[in-house]
Amino acid sequence: MKRMAGLLLMFGLCLSAVAADADLRAVLADPAARQAAAEAGRKAAFFCVNCHGENGVSKLPEVPNLAGQNPAYLLEQIRKFGAGQRRDEFMQGLIKVLKEEERLQIAVFYAGQTPPPGQQEASQIAAGRLLYDKLCARCHGSAAHGSEVIPRLAGQHVEYLVTAVTRYRDRTGERLDPAMSSAVAPLKNADIKAVAAYLNSLP
Ligand code: HEC
Ligand code: HEC
């Protein structure tokens, strides 16, 4: 019986993810709807600004920039926090107060902003680029702009990137993605720092 309830819950979560994707696609395809969603999203994001910064560019190194992030990825991460499939004390609590509609509007709003590239040492950039091109570009793209379900990494904070990659590599449980964990398995700590510096420097 318990197993059955679990399966039904999983099925329900999948269905709501599929419906959210279809809604998002419809909004993105219509310029007027997109603009209206972005404006509503800016308002709905009024308390996200405290940590994620004005226009999604965060001043806190451990808090990710949301500016320019792919909207389907943002929506999926919000869903994951809500479902407990991604773990962070603050985010899991905060996401609960958002209505489904607000989640979508916030994702559209942040996706339309631009993160500024950071300044990094040339030697770190060069070392990081070699690793990135070899191990990461096939999924995250040559310019690290990602795609629908793959996150943009260009211009992201170094500290946040290092934490995220280390968590996937060491399978600590905050973030679950087997493909990411295998992809970053070969990286030493120094490699992770170099890749993060390279990514931060990208526009
Ligand atoms: C108290 C600070 C704080 C507030 C307020 C906050 N966040 Fe976050 N957010 C974080 C931190 C820290 C992380 C990174 C968690 C991790 O390391 O996995 C994060 C991660 C995220 C991510 C994942 C980004 C990525 O690149 O994977 C999304 C999406 C997000 N937040 C959306 C929101 C939204 C929407 C709001 C407002 C409703 C909000 N956050 C409010 C601290 C905050
Ligand atoms: C097989 C495809 C694939 C490869 C190869 C890959 N990634 Fe990923 N990456 C993903 C996916 C999918 C996600 C989102 C996973 C999730 O939902 O937690 C992700 C997430 C991330 C995140 C979290 C971003 C954020 O905003 O929180 C970072 C950082 C990252 N990848 C870095 C890398 C680096 C560095 C490499 C190369 C060493 C790499 N990835 C290789 C598919 C890949």
46 found inside a domain: yes
Q: Which residue has the tokens 């994702």?
A: 107
Host domain of residue 196: 122-201
- Separation CA 28–CA 161 (nearest Å): 28
> How many domains would you assign to the chain?
2
- Atom 16 in ligand 2: residue holding the nearest Cα: 177
- The predicted pLDDT at position 3 comes to 63
Q: What are 127's two structure tokens?
A: 């070392």
Q: H-helix or E-strand containing 111?
A: helix 100-111
Q: What is the pLDDT of residues 62-80, one digit of tens each?
A: 999 999 999 999 999 999 9
Is 106 found in the same domain as 7? yes
Q: What is the tens place of the pLDDT at every residue in 16-31?
A: 666 778 899 999 999 9
62 lines ligand 1 (CB under 6 A): yes
Supply the pTM of this predicted model. Answer: 0.93
Q: Is the CB of 152 under 6 A from ligand 1?
A: no
Q: What angle do CA 55, 59, 65 make, to 5 degrees?
A: 50
Indicate the angle between helix axes 2-29 and 31-44, nearest 10 degrees: 120
Same domain, 55 and 92: yes
Residue located via tokens 């226009």: 55
Q: Are residues 89 and 53 in the same domain?
A: yes
CA distance 170 to 167: 5
Is the domain of 78 the same as that of 128?
no
Asked if residue 165 belongs to a domain, the reply is yes
The reply to whether ligand 1 has any atom less than 6 angstroms from the CB of 50 is yes
> Do 35 and 74 lie in a common domain?
yes
Same-domain pairing of 104 and 30? yes
Measured by CA distance, the residue closest to atom 34 of ligand 1 is 48
Q: Tell me: do 160 and 187 sit in the same domain.
A: yes
Which three-class secondary structure state does DSSP give residue 86? strand
Same domain, 36 and 82: yes
Nearest to 165 by CA among 143, 196, 190: 196
- Taking the centre of ligand 2 as the mean of its atom positions, its distance from the CA of residue 162, in whole angstroms, is 12
Is the pLDDT reported for residue 33 higher than 80?
A: yes
* CATH code at position 80: 1.10.760.10
pLDDT digits over 84-117, tens only? 999 999 999 999 999 999 999 999 999 999 999 9
Q: Are residues 142 and 161 part of one domain?
A: yes
- Between the CA of residue 171 and those of 115, 200, 203, what are the distances in Å? 28, 23, 29
Residue closest by Cα to atom 3 of ligand 2: 139
- Residues 9 and 99 both lie in one domain: yes
Are both 62 and 131 inside the same structural domain?
Answer: no
Give the amino acid at 196. A
